[in-house]
Structure 1
């Protein structure tokens, strides 16, 4: 599948977030390890607060990582779009996520005028292993006056 070119590269996404959302910019600067047309890889380091009793990374932590990866991919394609918001996130938990870094691979399914659907796979430490979860995520973008 051919994807449109990026409006912002990885550094551009991180710089933009540092300007408009400085409280979260560090997480993106640390986590966004790859960004190319149609694809983003986001790594979310987990800590003790993310782990439930029994050594399982919590579902909300996985969902947060997917949302961050999706937002980075949306910004990469749309450019400065602070008004792009999550409108749908659905996750299937496939197996118990043990502690470790969450690696989220997000794929752009369509760059629509108002909706941006994506698919994500979540791995623990190694994207060569079976995913612990898969997700669909849709971002809605607010149209700027004068757009289509």
Structure 2
């Protein structure tokens, strides 16, 4: 069972990132996996109707963060340590979906595999590997 539900994740994101308008929505939170959906508007597009790279990277970072939360629960000081993204093909469409799976989680780091695709598309538009640094747990008896 996930440590955080999709409803809890959406409440957290809308409270933590008020200035962004938070147009993305967490649609799935299951143990080790999260999915985020974004209905794109003109602020997300490049000429030609392409979903911009920064939009895709933001979705990747958000969904990776949520995937970690499925295992740790709400940990606000969990932070991005590394994000490596490969843009595989044009990302053109009205709705973008990012799907993250935790590959490994330890005491200090979590590593996620993330695919970004247009909703309903078979092939990913981009693929990322994201590493998050986890907050240190207080030592027992300290």
State the TM bucket, normalised to the shorter chain.
0.7 to 0.9
TM-score, scaled to structure 2 = 0.87
Choose which of 36, 41, 52 in structure 2 pairs with 1:47: 41
TM-score, scaled to structure 1 = 0.84
CA contact (8 A) 1:35 1:41 kept: yes
TM-superposed deviation, 1:27: 3.0
TM-superposed deviation, 1:71: 1.1
TM-superposed deviation, 1:88: 0.6
Secondary structure of the residue that 1:110 maps to in structure 2? strand
* Structure 1 gap ranges (5+): none
What is the 5 A alignment of 1:90-129?
90-126=84-120, 128-129=121-122
User: In the aligned structure 1, how far is the partner of 2:20 from the partner of 2:137?
Assistant: 24
Choose which of 81, 85, 88 in structure 1 pairs with 2:79: 85
CA contact (8 A) 1:104 1:123 kept: yes
2:9 equivalent in structure 1: 13
Structure (1 or 2) with the greater strand fraction: 2
TM-superposed deviation, 1:142: 1.5
**RMSD between aligned alpha carbons?**
2.2
User: In the aligned structure 1, how far is the partner of 2:57 from the partner of 2:125?
Assistant: 12
**Structure 1 residues 22, 61: CA separation in 2 closer, same or farther (over 3 Å shift)?**
closer
Secondary structure of the residue that 1:27 maps to in structure 2? coil
Give the number of aligned pairs.
140
CA contact (8 A) 1:40 1:105 kept: yes
Choose which of 1, 18, 24 in structure 2 pairs with 1:23: 18
**Structure 1 residues 47, 112: CA separation in 2 closer, same or farther (over 3 Å shift)?**
same
CA contact (8 A) 2:33 2:70 kept: no
* Structure 2 gap ranges (5+): none
**Structure 1 residues 99, 140: CA separation in 2 closer, same or farther (over 3 Å shift)?**
same
Secondary structure of the residue that 2:59 maps to in structure 1? helix
